[in-house]
Amino acid sequence: MASSCGKKKPRVPIIASVVPFLLLLVSFSLVSATHGGNGTRTQALFGARDELRAYRRVMARAARMKMASVKTIQSPDDGDAIDCVPSHLQPAFDHPKLRGQKPEDEPAERPRGSAAAAAQDQEEAVFFPQAWSDGGESCPEGTVPVRRTTERDVLRCSSARRFGMKPRASNVRRDSTSSGHEHAVGYVTGDQFYGAKASLNVWSAKVASAAEFSLSQIWVISGSFGNDLNTIEAGWQVSPELYGDNNPRFFTYWTSDAYQETGCYNLYCSGFVQTNNRIAIGAAISPTSVYNGRQFDISLLIWKDPRRGHWWLQLGSGPLVGYWPSFLFTHLGGHANMVQFGGEVVNSRPSGSHTPTQMGSGHFPREGFNRAAYFRNVQVVDWDNSLVPAAALRLVADHPGCYDIQGGYNRAWGNYFYYGGPGRNVHCP
């Protein structure tokens, strides 16, 4: 699940930004002329031109968002610019099936859980720590915060055509480490699931290179692990390539064809419809958890509206963030057949020494509370729209010497697990 891009840096003149793509055109021409025939030359030229056209499309959309903005908020910590865009003009409504529409009303019926858990989640949801809103800033009612896309965001990516998308080689298999993806996760499978919920603490995980990332998230999954895989994902991630820094950021993702041609991170494409004016998807989470100090949770709930069929993202039992329209999906148009919770990293050095990129806090589960990363109150939504414990949770770590996982149950935390690790160490050379 590697990224293909994104972050706010000082503005670069548009002509300077196009130069690398023009050089790309020339270099493809020279390489193909030296090493290939007419067919290879033509393919390379068309590929480079597609990149340039994709770049222009991305920047045109960014310009539309900036022009539509009724207010811009400059994040004090990370340099992000947050544009407050009228909700009916957000990127989701570029989709042919959504053009000319407005966000739907929030569902009246939400998943049922215990009163005690609901009260705790409601209290936590009042404070969702993000850098851009530290000074009490928010977007006006009727608008949504959109993190501004810059030229440098696109140029930082390996492909403008796949800006904001994961590589086609991405996978969510808990037993697979193809393309250097390594996991420590808990999962439930073999049933009909209509959502998932958990609280997870946020850390400033150290990522060794721009080609790697570290994330902690919930996956809601349906279909086979072939090209028909549907997923909905949300959590926090550190991705230098996508955001241009090493801050942990709140993110979403979706795909309906195993990351081939559909879906994207956050609001980088049409799809996810945001309804909340106080939460910026893709923005940095601040403050974060401190080793041997205070812990900061985010409580996430993904659930399927039984009336309209859309998949909603909610902060615990508190405010809704937005929804994935049901028409985006094939298998998830009905229900999920797997839910997964936990951490993932990309190890870009599959041969030789292992990456020191951290998962979670960078400490092993055995260190416990205040030191290791955790998921607590791990639940699923059943056929009756009720939250129930993920009682059959299975725990798997691809490389326990690098990143491990240990779970348990208690009355305060329900089903929980600690997970993560430092990557390269004496047990993970």
**Residues in CB range of 277: below 8 A, 6 or more apart:** 84, 138, 139, 140, 141, 142, 143, 144, 145
Q: Which residues pair with 184 in a beta bridge?
A: 343, 397
Distance CA 336, CA 195 (A): 8
CA distance linking residue 148 with residue 136, whole number of Å:
19
Q: Which of 233, 241, 261, 367 is catalytic?
A: 233
The DSSP-derived string for 353-401 is SPP---BTTSS-GGG-TTTSEEEEEEEEE-TTSBEEE-TT-EEEES-TT
Q: Is 233 a catalytic residue?
A: yes
> Which residue in the list 124, 182, 212, 344 is annotated as catalytic?
344
Size (the chain), residues: 429
CA 329 to chain centre: 18
Helix, strand or coil, per DSSP, at residue 195: strand
Q: Which of 169, 86, 82 is nearest to 133 (CA)?
A: 82
Beta-carbon contacts of 235 under 8 Å, excluding residues fewer than 6 positions away, are 200, 215, 216, 217, 218, 250, 251, 300
Residue 244 DSSP label: S
Host H or E run for residue 190: strand 181-193
Helices (H), 126-171: 151-155
Which of 292, 289, 290, 254 lies closest to 271, judged by CA? 254
How far from chain centre, in Å, is Cα 46?
31
- Residue 344 among the catalytic residues: yes
| CA 233/CA 229 separation, integer angstroms | 13
How many other C-beta atoms lie within 10 A of the C-beta of residue 48?
A: 20
Q: Which residues contact 264 (CB under 8 A, 6 or more apart)?
A: 164, 165, 253, 254, 271
- Known catalytic residues are 233, 344
